[in-house]
Structures are given as structure tokens and as C-alpha cells.
Homo-oligomer: A and B are copies of this chain.
């Protein structure tokens, strides 16, 4: 078996930095493909392909205006990621970090 498809879910779609970049632009408002090409260091075909992936997982929606296609963010599709990662937030508090440091040190003493 290979890796899960980029279109499998938001986690996979967003793993690609370019696609996060695109979302980072769209969060400011609707943009045409050309707009995105102008702002990002990505070719037009690549932008279109990335948008297709983002659309398949519901992260963006589009509408046609003349010969333009305007894409906009559908942020709620990011919610599963937020919900998942949120549970871990309390674990990077300073207290737990210190415990980790302590365990690392024990390890070093045992084997180093």
C-alpha cells in the first residue's frame, strides 16, 4: 500500500506547504487563480492542481465570474485538525516539558 491520497482528508491535503500557502491567501478573501499565481511562487497549472485537491477535501469552494474562477476558503473543513491537535495543547505546558527534560537526562546518564 502507498501513502494515503492527498485528497483523503484535510490532514493530508494540508500537509503540503504550498496548499497551506494558498489557504493563507484565501483566508483574506476570495481570489482568482491568477491572483494566486501572482502572489505565490507557483505556476498556474500547479495552483490549479492544488486548488483541485483543496476542493476535493472541502477546504475551498469556487464560483465562476466571466472567465475567472473565484476560490474562497471553507474554513470549517479544518475543524477536525483543530479538534485533534487541541487535545494536545495542555501537554506542552512548562511543567511537562521539564519532566521530559528530566527523563532525557536520566537516559543520558544511563547510557551516555
Contact = CB atoms under 8 A, between A and B. Distances in A.
Interface in A56-102: 61, 63-64, 72-76, 78-79, 81-82, 84-89, 91-92, 96-97, 100
Contacts of A11: 14-15, 17, 20
Find the residue from A3, A79, A88 having the highest chain B CB count within 10 A: A88
A4 B27 contact: no
Contacts of A63: 103-104, 106-107, 110
Contact of A89 (B82, B87, B97): B82
A44 interface: no
* Chain copies in the assembled complex: 2
Nearest to A81: B85
Interface of A: 3-4, 6, 11-12, 14-17, 20, 23, 27, 61, 63-64, 72-76, 78-79, 81-82, 84-89, 91-92, 96-97, 100, 103-104, 106-107, 110-111
- 4 tightest A-B contacts by CB? A75-B91, A76-B92, A15-B15, A63-B107
